[in-house]
Amino acid sequence: MNPGAHGGLHHMTSDNISGLGVILGSAQTDPLIAWYRAVLEPLGAKWHQHMLTIGPTIIGFDERDDVAEKSTEPGRQMINIMVKDIRAAEAHLNTLDVNWVRPVEDVGDGWYFSTVTDPDGNYVQFLQGPVTA
């Protein structure tokens, strides 16, 4: 990036971003939507029209004919879901017989990581950070 490329960015307020979203392209969105709803709604996500909301974050779904049925590089992008209780999330996920790529692991300093695959083979990580009083 050249020095002038960001021009007036330093004049913007630091709270200009109001949310974040991801759109999952799929050859077949119905099974993908059903999976994400079964996984995330019991954990607190809300279904609105054609997307899931988690606080200000959205996960949308786009049925496409220009994507493979399964992700060929599932680690290229990962959806990270922060949870307050990783063991409760793990118990819920186990009731759905998810495919664990990385079981819940204590990685130190109060952090827990885990990874599952969705029906299209995308990686979805469930994380818990340090508990603070």
Q: Measured on CA atoms in the order 68, 103, 99, 33, is the torsion positive or negative?
A: negative
- Which pTM does this prediction carry? 0.85
Domain residue ranges of the chain, discontinuous segments joined by +: 20-128
CA 84 to chain centre: 15
CA 37 to chain centre: 12
**Phi, psi dihedral angles at 49 (to 5 degrees):** 60, -85
**CATH 3.70.10.10 applies to domain 20-128:** no
SS3 42: helix
pLDDT tens-digit profile of 83-99? 999 999 999 999 999 99
> Tokens 């099974």 map to which residue?
31
pLDDT tens-digit profile of 14-59? 788 888 999 999 999 999 999 999 999 999 999 998 899 998 899 9
